Amino acid sequence: MHALDYALFAAYLVALVAIGYWFYRRHQGGEDFFLAGRSLGARHVGFSIAATDVGGGFSIGLAGLGFTMGLSASWLLFTGLLGAWLAAVWMIPKVKARETQHRFFTYPDLLKHHFGPKVAMVAALISAIGYLGFTAAQLLAGAKLAANTLVPADMTALSPLTLALWLIGGATILYTAFGGLKAVIYTDSVQWLILLLGLGGLALPFAIHEIGGVAALIEALPDSYWSLSELSLSTALNWLITITPIWLVAMTLYQRIYACRDTQTAQRAWYLAGFLEYPLMAFSGVLLGMCARVLLPEADAESAVPMMIRDVLPLGLTGIVIAAYFSAIMSTADSCLMASSGNLTNDLLGVREDSPRAVRWSMMATLGLGLLAILMAAHASSVLNAILAAYGLMVSGLVAPTLACLFWPQVNARSAMLSMLVGGGVVSLLMLNWLPLPAAVADWGLDPSVFGLTASLLTLAVTHWLSLLRYSDVVEVTK
């Protein structure tokens, strides 16, 4: 890369931190820091949701899937469209009505209102851990991008990946800790536009030109790469069950529901986010991965697109497109860090007062969790696997009680608590390989989250049914 590219990228990072500090000087208290004063409109929130959900992890991970399997990888983001629109129709009206009445701060507040503080505490712990892992995955995506584009191998005694991880992580943590949700949402809107321009308007056309045109790209790849049906049933189920339900339990999304001024605004934002994810981002990311497969067939799948961008773009444009990718990464990392910080500060530590003291506590929690996320990222390898592991924990532990809270109000707190513990426990044991599956079941190729969510839902249903039986027995004895 040329000095001009480095200058453009450095200016981008400095601008983000400056925006965060600008919002920091205008915070009125904890509600302003975490929920942007509950007054945001649909457009900014919709762009922010798409930027947060796709982010660097799915940008890097999706391009890696396009590298290995072609157009069928686009179904990964169809789960986002499905989840966003289902949430807009079925979930948001119920959540927003309760939030307007009770002034919820976090996702666990919804469960606390229905099931009590113990259930909310466990939910907050699961959410905080899940989002800390998700933040680490985004920082790893940024480090992989920087290590293959910005950091020369002989620049420092540290490895390029380690140096990049601390540089990118440090900038993300600073502007998130300073700026709160307003800084996150407004920068996300800009970052999403930069991402679409950088990937779809610059990187993809230049890559196709380097290959020799669309006809040359079609000729260079196997026919299976141009099919939308080259997807195994187990992979489709894994994506559907692991990713789609996250729209019911994601702390980042609940913060945005609460930040919208009313139900209709939130629904419009969710419809917009779904469209931005699929088809716009889905096919842009996959096609970039397919181009990289032609130009750099021996590269690591998740590193191939950053390397391609470094090699094919002309002076100046490289810095812009790299900034676009970092936009995606930071737009997810900041939101996930805010979510984990909100769970820790508001739900686990109980810092709720609307005052400058609450902002200071929130900033310290954000800084501490951000540093922990960097350390976690240093020990991870695959971006997409890290994301799916974080999703798996939250889906397995939180979906069942959330569905009960919104659509099955007769379920009691004991059933909700057991469903969280069983679902979260099963998926954790499976991911750590402490609970081996029978060989016949392991051959199905299903993710641990499928078994964790199934166990959680069964636990909820069975314990609720048993409680009804006990209640009917008591009634009979009383008679």
Three-class secondary structure assignment of 146-157: HHHHCCCCCCCC
Q: Which structural domain range is residue 124 located in?
A: 3-382
Domain assignment present for residue 391? The answer is no
Query: Do 198 and 325 contact (CB within 8 A), yes or no?
Result: yes
Q: How many CA atoms lie within 13 A of 107 on its CB side?
A: 33
Run of H or E residues at 68: helix 42-69
Count the neighbouring beta carbons within 10 Å of the beta carbon of residue 135. Answer: 34
Domain assignment present for residue 410? The answer is no
In the DSSP assignment, the letter for residue 340 is H
Count the neighbouring beta carbons within 10 Å of the beta carbon of residue 228. Answer: 12
Angle, CA of 10, 15 and 16, to the nearest 5°: 100
Query: Do 53 and 274 contact (CB within 8 A), yes or no?
Result: no
Domain assignment present for residue 476? The answer is no
d(CA 230, CA 224): 7
Tens-binned pLDDT, residue by residue, of the chain (479 aa): 667 767 777 777 777 677 766 766 665 555 666 676 787 889 888 888 887 777 655 667 788 899 999 999 999 999 989 999 999 999 999 999 999 899 898 899 999 999 999 999 999 999 999 988 888 887 887 777 777 776 665 555 556 677 777 777 777 777 666 656 666 777 777 777 777 777 788 889 999 999 999 999 999 999 999 999 999 999 999 999 988 999 999 888 998 899 898 999 999 999 999 998 898 889 988 999 999 999 999 988 878 888 888 788 777 677 777 776 676 677 677 778 878 888 888 888 887 655 556 667 777 888 888 888 888 888 776 666 777 788 899 999 999 999 999 999 899 999 999 999 999 999 999 998 888 887 778 888 899 999 999 999 999 999 999 988 875 655 555 55
Run of H or E residues at 138: helix 117-149
Q: For residue 308, what is the domain's CATH number?
A: 1.20.1730.10
For residue 33, give the nearest of 25, 42, 41, 44 by alpha carbon.
25
Domain assignment present for residue 279? The answer is yes
Domain assignment present for residue 134? The answer is yes
For residue 152, give the nearest of 161, 165, 140 by alpha carbon.
161
Count the neighbouring beta carbons within 10 Å of the beta carbon of residue 473. Answer: 10
Domain assignment present for residue 465? The answer is no
Q: Write down the H helix ranges in 150-281.
A: 160-196, 204-211, 214-220, 233-243, 246-249, 251-259, 263-275
Domain assignment present for residue 321? The answer is yes
Domain assignment present for residue 96? The answer is yes
Domain count along the chain: 1
> Which amino acid makes up residue 231?
L
